């Protein structure tokens, strides 16, 4: 069974631009969560989507947004990019029903560099 797929793997953007990252979860998984990983802050939770609804949100500014489609694929968008947004953005999918279904599987990530 295919794992979590994130595209693109690498991205270079200029300050002020916006970017959209994509995540395809494992087939049958309905929950998609996004995380930002930086050397300075480690792994930080951005938001979680389940059945096209945002269920949970971390402490990031409104420039960070996301959405989920009916096929559970998810995108996250960062507008007005800042140098500090350079990071590895990770997507994790799970069944999302809670209990034993909480196990989350991660994709390889998208490495975003803002110059």
Binding site for another protein (CB under 8 A): 4, 31, 33, 35, 38-45, 48, 50, 55-56, 58, 84, 90, 92, 94, 96, 98, 102-109
Shortest separation between residue 50's beta carbon and another protein, angstroms? 7
∠ CA 53-29-103, rounded to 5°: 100
Shortest separation between residue 35's beta carbon and another protein, angstroms? 8
- How far from the centroid of its chain's Cα atoms is residue 72's Cα? 13
Whichever of 12 and 43 has its CB closer to another protein, that residue is 43
CA dist., res. 88 & res. 70, Å (int) = 26
Shortest separation between residue 67's beta carbon and another protein, angstroms? 15
Shortest separation between residue 6's beta carbon and another protein, angstroms? 8
Q: What are phi and psi of 113, to 5 degrees?
A: -120, 125
∠ CA 101-103-109, rounded to 5°: 135
């Amino acid at each position: 069974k295919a794992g979590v797929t994130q595209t693109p793997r690498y991205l270079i953007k200029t300050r002020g631009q916006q970017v959209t990252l994509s995540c395809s979860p494992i087939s049958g998984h309905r929950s998609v969560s996004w995380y930002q990983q930086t050397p300075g802050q480690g792994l930080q939770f951005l938001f979680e989507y389940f059945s096209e609804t945002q269920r949970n949100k971390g402490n990031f500014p409104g420039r960070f947004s996301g959405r989920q489609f009916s096929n559970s694929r998810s995108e996250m968008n960062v507008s007005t990019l800042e140098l500090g947004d350079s990071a590895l953005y990770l997507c994790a999918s799970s069944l999302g029903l809670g209990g034993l279904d909480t196990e989350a599987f991660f994709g390889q990530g998208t490495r975003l560099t803002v110059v």
